[in-house]
Amino acid sequence: MPMSAPAERMKSMRARRHARGLREVRLLVPDTRLATVRRRIAQQVAKLSPESEKDALDWIESVSIFDEKDEAR
């Protein structure tokens, strides 16, 4: 069975990207537009202890480039 025009265009686009050394990656993330998801995230955040998260937060701050002054990088 021959491919439909949209499927053929997608195949062609993927081939061009592959030739440029790129590949498609799909991410599935929670849909934060849903109240149930927001509620679940809020419950999980409420269980976090600032003391137990301090090491992770310190590391994030140490590697963050967003807090640096506009310097030549």
- Averaged pLDDT in 10-residue chunks for the chain of 73 residues: 86 94 93 97 92 87 77 52
Total structural domains in the chain? Answer: 1
pTM of the model: 0.48
Q: Is 13 part of any domain?
A: yes
- Residue 55 domain boundaries: 5-26+33-63
The answer as to whether 9 is a domain residue is: yes
Within-domain flag for 49: yes
Q: Tell me, rounded to whole angstroms, the distance of Cα 31 from its chain centroid.
A: 13
DSSP state of 70: S
Within-domain flag for 68: no
Let me know: does 73 contact 65? Beta carbons within 8 Å: yes
CA atoms within a 13 Å half-sphere pointing along the CA-CB vector of 37: 6
User: Tokens 């990656």 correspond to what residue?
Assistant: 25
